[in-house]
Amino acid sequence: GQNIDQPTEMTATEGAIVQINCTYQTSGFNGLFWYQQHAGEAPTFLSYNVLDGLEEKGRFSSFLSRSKGYSYLLLKELQMKDSASYLCAVLDSNYQLIWGAGTKLIIKP
């Protein structure tokens, strides 16, 4: 079966750095997405990786290793507004998105 694993919850301090991991086992791979979802709101797109390596976008970076079935989202200079759930999703061989359950990130002052 297809599976995406993320930690359920993480806590970090304002101004610090946090890394949210995502491991996947899917039938084929056509890219990996990260989305942010604030409580009670819709998911919003953060990043897309299809090749190995690090993609940087301001305070957020996303890394992919296809051979290891592994990705992480790195958030720097954490702000209180970064408190949200972070969803990892893989586009499988049929171009269907398989979603992880999400990681709830709690930022403490």
Task: Rule CB under 8 A: say whether 69 interacts with another protein.
Answer: no
Among positions 22, 73, 98, 105, the unique one binding another protein when judged by CB under 8 A: 98
Indicate the residue among 8 and 67 with the shorter CB distance to another protein: 8
How big is the site for another protein, counted in residues (CB under 8 A)?
Answer: 24
| Cα distance between residue 27 and residue 61, in whole Å | 25
Indicate the residue among 15 and 38 with the shorter CB distance to another protein: 38
How far CA 38 is from CA of 20, 91, 101, in Å, comes to: 16, 23, 14
Judge whether 32 and 71 are in contact, CB under 8 Å: yes
